[in-house]
Copies of this chain bind each other. A is one copy, B any other.
Amino acid sequence: MKKVDLSFQSCKSEYKDSDVVIFSAPLDLTTSFRPGTRFAGNHIRIDSVGIEWYSPYQDKSLKDYNTCDIGDLEMPLGDLEGALDVIYKTTKKIIEDKKTPLMIGGEHLVTYPAVKALIEEYKNLHIIHLDAHTDLRDEFLGMKLSHATVLRRLYDLGAKIYSFGIRSGDKHEFEWAKEHIYLRKFDLETLDEKVNLLKDKPVYITIDLDVLDPGVFPGTGTPEPGGIQFKELLQALELFRNLNNIVGADIVELNPLLDSSGASTMAAIKALRELILLLHK
């Protein structure tokens, strides 16, 4: 007679026994169009019974690894800085305990405090970033910390950025990108080269799921037509197996309020399973 356990799929290990720790960050405060990503974590959890624990892509099974799911972080809802601090401290603690963090957003801004914690440990941190949007504004609607500025803030932290699939942004963002980061427009080409380059570097992977075409992933606040297919995302995930030092990862921007069929939630679930298996080297 044990308390209900709604951990992601078969990731039911205790924290102390785990190598990978899943948490969700229910934040969508700076969302400019349709909010709701705060509900992603728990919808992913309860629908994760709909997927197998075995991946035929990696020939690995969730059952063979120790993963803990600590659930939604408790965050002061209206207090942006307070909320980001909770994510920062959680990530910090996980790293200190020699475990790998895997975060479910929330809006994309959640990546900022996670990377902030990681870069203190890994000075030479590289970011592989899949997204529809540049997220490179210096400020957005008067705010320095926003889903639309998050990659710029990661750059400010000293991370090296490699963006792929980008098809939306303001003109000056694309121009700024040319001089400061690597940015691949529209698709994932050259990802193989860059993965090869980063083979032994510490790498953080952040996947804004709206990099997928809205046909595949309608359940997101700001769908941007013309994206990649799920098979292309799977190929990217396969490429990541060549990275020897992935120090953390996240998937962000699933909005369950906009996913009446549940298919977008399942896309997030499958991406998450593959990421978990990737993180368990």
A224 sits at the interface (CB 8 A): yes
> Does B68 lie within 8 Å of A142, measured CB to CB?
no
Q: Once the chains are docked, how many angstroms separate the CA of A21 from the CA of B14?
A: 24
Q: Once the chains are docked, how many angstroms separate the CA of A217 from the CA of B266?
A: 13
A190 sits at the interface (CB 8 A): no
A6 sits at the interface (CB 8 A): yes
Across the interface, which residues of B come within 8 angstroms of A174, CB to CB? Answer: 56
Interface residues as binary, A21-46 with B (CB distance below 8 Å gives 1, 0 otherwise): 10000001111111110110011011
Partner of A214, one of B169, B185, B266: B266
Instruction: List the number of copies, as a whole number.
Output: 6
Across the interface, which residues of B come within 8 angstroms of A4, CB to CB? Answer: 5-7, 45, 69-72
> Does A267 lie within 8 Å of B54, measured CB to CB?
no
- Of residues 56 through 110 on chain A, the ones whose CB sits less than 8 Å from some CB of chain B are 56-57, 59, 61, 68-72, 76-80, 82, 93-94, 97
Interface size counted on chain A using CB atoms at 8 A:
91
> Does A46 lie within 8 Å of B49, measured CB to CB?
no
Q: Once the chains are docked, how many angstroms separate the CA of A140 from the CA of B76?
A: 9
Given contacts A56-B167, A78-B141, contact A43 B46 (CB under 8 A): yes
A168 sits at the interface (CB 8 A): yes
A245 sits at the interface (CB 8 A): no
Of the candidates A39, A140, A215, the one having the most CB atoms from chain B within 10 angstroms of its own CB is A215
Q: How far is the CB of A97 from chain B (nearest CB, A)?
A: 8
Across the interface, which residues of B come within 8 angstroms of A167, CB to CB? Answer: 56-57
Across the interface, which residues of B come within 8 angstroms of A71, CB to CB? Answer: 3-6
Nearest B-chain residue to A33, judged by Cβ: B50
> Does A70 lie within 8 Å of B36, measured CB to CB?
no
Partner of A61, one of B33, B45, B77, B171: B171
Nearest B-chain residue to A257, judged by Cβ: B257
> Does A213 lie within 8 Å of B215, measured CB to CB?
yes
Across the interface, which residues of B come within 8 angstroms of A153, CB to CB? Answer: none
Q: Once the chains are docked, how many angstroms separate the CA of A36 from the CA of B37?
A: 11
Of the listed stretches A123-131, A156-164, A195-203, A228-236, chain B binds A228-236
Given contacts A29-B78, A39-B46, A76-B143, 20 further A-B contacts (CB under 8 A): A1-B21, A2-B15, A2-B70, A3-B14, A4-B69, A34-B50, A50-B223, A56-B167, A76-B142, A78-B143, A213-B215, A214-B216, A214-B230, A215-B217, A223-B263, A225-B266, A225-B271, A226-B230, A257-B257, A258-B261
Minimum-distance CB pairs A-B, first 4: A4-B71, A215-B216, A218-B261, A218-B263
